[in-house]
Amino acid sequence: MEQQKVSYYNEISMMMFGFGDSHKPNPETVRLVESIVLSQLRLIVREALKYSKNDTLKPEELIFLMRKNKYKMRRFVKYLHNQELKKRIESNVVDLTNIPKNSLIEFIERIDETGELTDLSEFDEVKHER
């Protein structure tokens, strides 16, 4: 089975520009960043597949890997809440107070023994430092 070549050259180049690099960053630097990102993604997928039942990667396996970083988890939970809110607004739902829980949020709540992963009221030190 031949492995397909994946390239995020244009996206990485635009992200580098967005973070302050020149409009056309050095191609070697872009390729280096791309190889690092792809290497890390492959590592994450391999690690997540260890928790998979049938070699099919589901979001729950990726969430399980992130569970030890409460700041990443909180940002992800906030993202899920915002996505649900956005769907409700786009579908012209008037009552925004009683938003149903996303199945991923329910999964996070099941693995969150202390409640700190879904506590969005705590200050995000990591994001503040950035």
Q: Give the residue extent of every domain in the chain.
A: 9-49, 59-129
Per-residue pLDDT reduced to its tens digit, 9-61: 999 999 999 999 999 999 999 999 999 999 999 999 999 998 888 888 888 89
Q: What is the pLDDT of residue 5?
A: 75
Q: What is the CATH number of domain 9-49?
A: 1.10.20
Residues 6+ apart with CB under 8 A from 107: 60, 63
Residue 105 has pLDDT above 80, yes or no: yes
- Going by C-alpha positions, the residue among 70, 71, 44 that lies closest to residue 59 is 44
HSE-CB at 58 with a 13 A cutoff on CA atoms is 9
